[in-house]
Amino acid sequence: MIVSLVKYFGTKKANGKLYTEKQRQQLVKWFWRSCFSRRYSSGVNSAHQADLVAMKKLCEDENYDISAFKCEIAPSFFVDNQFNVNTVNTKTFIAMLASNTPRSFISGAEVDLSSTLKQSSTKEFHHIFPDKYLQRCGKVRKDIYSLANFCFLNNADNQKIKDKAPDEYVKMMDKASIPSILALAYCPDNTFSLSYEKFIELRSKLLFERANELITG
């Protein structure tokens, strides 16, 4: 994707390449459609050929659609895919969460994305319904590690939550901050009173709706 972006932004001008709001929107839409369609997971050469031509045309015409390629995601995307920082789908999910300025659950502080994304450490992510808690409830790894069960969380807060049930660790959160923290994490506003099954159903719907907004621009 960087190769294609360099085609658009590459310039000898000291102040960089100027772009319009329409061009910015086109580039953002192209980014998310490339991510969710796994555009560069196969056929890289042909994808580059098409995108390099498209980027040149966008430079000349701000209305040119550079993301006309197919991109569809199923409602089950955030349920069926497992959290693994080495996979494209997980990285796309992380990027989507990061784009919404997430806040850590207990401290309420904005997540330091510059260090978290650089390290790609699993310690900076959190099972909203903790792993060991769900194991005690008889859940299997496939259910526990669905993307829809993860959010950003700094390591200090992670250590405080450990294996506590959501309706327990919510008591450590500032009540006034809970609605905004959940909204920024694309979580239902009644997250802490839901069963795990209902939580996954509702959150995956919110995530799916947001993903569709991104790929349709």
**Residue numbers of the domain that contains 141:** 77-216
In a domain, 52, yes or no: yes
Residue-by-residue pLDDT tens, the chain, 217 positions? 999 999 999 999 888 889 999 999 999 999 999 999 999 998 899 999 999 999 999 999 999 999 999 999 998 999 999 999 899 999 999 999 999 999 999 999 888 887 777 665 566 788 999 999 999 999 999 999 999 999 998 888 989 999 999 999 999 999 999 999 999 999 999 999 999 999 999 999 999 999 999 999 8
Question: Are 205 and 107 part of one and the same domain?
Answer: yes
Residues 181, 119: one domain?
yes
Same domain, 104 and 186: yes
Q: Domain tally for the chain?
A: 2
Q: Are residues 94 and 35 in the same domain?
A: no
Q: At what angle are helices 2-9 and 44-60 packed, to 10 degrees?
A: 20
* Residue 120, Ramachandran bin (φ over 0: left; ψ between -120 and 50: alpha; else beta): left
Residue reference for tokens 């069926």: 80
